[in-house]
């Protein structure tokens, strides 16, 4: 089959069992990994990028050749750079200086304009906090107004969770033969978790939010440690639009070190070269099989590629 563009490659990623990990750890149950890092932009955000732009073009909120602006840790920006480039929209990615340099370089290669925002006072390089994200949002808002652009708004646009309610969730269910009992995901914008949960929860699948230890804002806890190395999420935001009324069974936490160790475990045991958030998802799935989901079947998403972290301490 010859496809008309790379946009048509987005979605329908493989689902693989992490049997080597479960055996090596002596776990009772199964972990299934959705390989979204294999998409054109090397991340799950390609789904939301396509969905938001297609909806906006269809309803007229995005006009032909109009500029698109969005804040990003790099993954959403990469997806938008691909979709916008093919559909004829200039794209401006606004990101924190705390994000890995590989992401900015990839977006530039895809013809995006990159605006780097300095980190908030006291922030650590390589770790993007909620305060850093707020500064990025301010700059993205300014540029949107200045250029009369369309703001993709991954944290608010309904196209984000819709991509996972109609894509990720159904794909996991169908590919697993309806065998999964639980799903967990590291929360960034909340789009993947909320969207997939809205499809999976009515089918009896328990869905869990994953947050960094010390920054469990969604769980309703006071934030004591907002800084962590898991880029792309864990911003200590307790009022994510997409998570409102999402059917969440419980809230899990992982440390940065657990995310790092499990990303390395994915690479060494399963040949899956993914990033920090994929490691966080695996750590959470292991928690579930050692606890409330013992003997069950937990699905997780491999959110992005390990190639985006070569300049960080993930692969030292």
Tokens at 17, concatenated? 């069992």
Cβ distance 285 to 277 under 8 Å? no
Which among 34, 45, 73, 189 is annotated as catalytic?
45
Rg (CA), the chain: 18
Annotated catalytic, 277?
yes
* Residue indicated by tokens 């997409």: 242
Annotated catalytic, 311?
no
SS (H, E, C) the chain: CCCCCHHHHCCCCCEEECHHHHHHHCCCCEEEEECHHHCCCCECHHHHHHHHHHHHHHHCCCCCCCCEEEECCCHHHHHHHHHHHHHCCCEEEEEECCCCHHHHHHHHHCCCEEEEECCCCCCCCCCCCHHHHHHHHHHHHHHHHHCCCEECCCCCCCHHHHHHHHHHHHHHHHHCCCCCCEEEEECCCCHHHHHHHHHHHHHCCEEEEEEECCCCCCCCCCCCCCCCCCCCCCCCCCCCHHHCCCCCCEEEEECHHHHHHHHHHHHHHHCCCECHHHHHHHHHHHHHHHCCCCCCEEEEECCEEHHHHCCCHHHC
Which among 123, 129, 253, 277 is annotated as catalytic?
277
- Give catalytic residues, as residue numbers: 45, 277
């Amino acid at each position: 089959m010859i496809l008309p563009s790379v946009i048509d490659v987005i979605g329908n990623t493989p689902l693989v069992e992490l049997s080597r990990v479960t055996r090596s750890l002596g776990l009772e149950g199964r972990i299934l990994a959705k390989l979204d890092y294999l998409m054109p932009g090397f991340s799950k955000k390609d789904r939301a990028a396509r969905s938001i732009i297609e909806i906006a073009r269809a309803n007229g909120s995005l006009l032909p050749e109009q500029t698109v602006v969005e804040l990003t840790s790099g993954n959403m920006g990469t997806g938008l750079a691909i979709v916008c480039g093919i559909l004829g929209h200039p794209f401006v990615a606004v990101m924190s200086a705390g994000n890995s340099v590989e992401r900015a370089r990839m977006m530039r290669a895809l013809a995006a304009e990159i605006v780097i925002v300095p980190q908030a006072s006291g922030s650590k390089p390589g770790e993007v906090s909620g305060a850093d994200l707020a500064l990025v949002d301010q700059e993205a808002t300014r540029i949107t107004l200045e250029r009369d652009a369309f703001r993709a708004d991954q944290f608010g646009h309904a196209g984000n969770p819709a991509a996972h309610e109609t894509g990720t969730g159904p794909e996991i269910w169908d590919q697993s033969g309806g065998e999964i009992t639980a799903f967990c995901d590291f929360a960034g914008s909340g789009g993947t978790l909320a969207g997939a949960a809205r499809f999976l929860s009515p089918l009896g699948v328990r869905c869990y939010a994953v947050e960094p230890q010390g920054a469990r804002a969604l769980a309703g806890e006071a934030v004591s440690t907002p800084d962590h190395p898991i880029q792309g999420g864990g911003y200590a935001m307790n009022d994510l639009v997409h998570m409102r009324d999402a059917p969440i069974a419980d809230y899990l936490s992982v440390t940065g070190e657990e995310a790092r160790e499990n990303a390395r475990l994915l690479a060494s045991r399963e040949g899956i070269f993914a990033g920090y958030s994929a490691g966080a998802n695996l750590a959470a799935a292991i928690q579930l099989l050692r606890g409330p989901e013992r003997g069950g079947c937990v699905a997780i998403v491999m959110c992005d590629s390990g190639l985006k972290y070569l300049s960080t301490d993930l692969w030292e």
